[in-house]
Amino acid sequence: EVQLVESGGGLVHPGGSLRLSCAASGFTFSNYWMNWVRQAPGKGLEWVANINPDGSGKRYVDSVKGRFTISRDNAKNSVYLQMNTLRAEDTAVYLCAREASLWGRGAQVTVSS
């Protein structure tokens, strides 16, 4: 089955860290750009980061630059988002997306004291 499954979400204190994972299956993972998109409670969608097929190119939205790192392991068909120095405004459902054509169900990240 063609799918993306996120994991690693949870509750973390401000200033803390979390690592999200996204496992892909059913397609040739190494052919695609992969993305992280987030949706804050009751809000719209915001692109967070993306990475090119071989992992050599990464881009971030300004609000997470220097704090978040996207990476991938094509041998494991997985993409990751390392999130450091988390803030309350990072609270959101984080969605993994294969370009824009396939989306996961998301992982909830809550930053609160």
Partner 1 sequence: EVVLTQFPLSLPVTLGQPASISCRSGHSLVTSDGNTYLDWIQQRPGQSPRRLIYNVSNRGSGVPDRFSGSGSGTDFTLKISRVEADDVGVYYCMQYTHWPHTFGQGTKLEIK
List residues binding partner 1 (CB under 8 A).
35, 37, 44-47, 50, 59, 61-62, 95, 97, 100-101, 103-106
Tally of CB atoms within 10 A around 84:
14
Residue nearer to partner 1 on the CB measure, 73 or 99: 99
Residue nearer to partner 1 on the CB measure, 35 or 78: 35
Residue nearer to partner 1 on the CB measure, 41 or 44: 44
- Measured at the CA of 15, the angle between CA 111 and CA 67, to 5 degrees, comes to 95
CB of 8 to partner 1, least distance (A): 17
- Measured at the CA of 49, the angle between CA 84 and CA 66, to 5 degrees, comes to 40
Nearest Cα residue to 73 out of 19, 109, 113? 19
CB of 30 to partner 1, least distance (A): 20
CB of 39 to partner 1, least distance (A): 9
Residue nearer to partner 1 on the CB measure, 83 or 95: 95
**Dihedral of the CA atoms 38, 39, 45, 48 (nearest 10)?**
-20
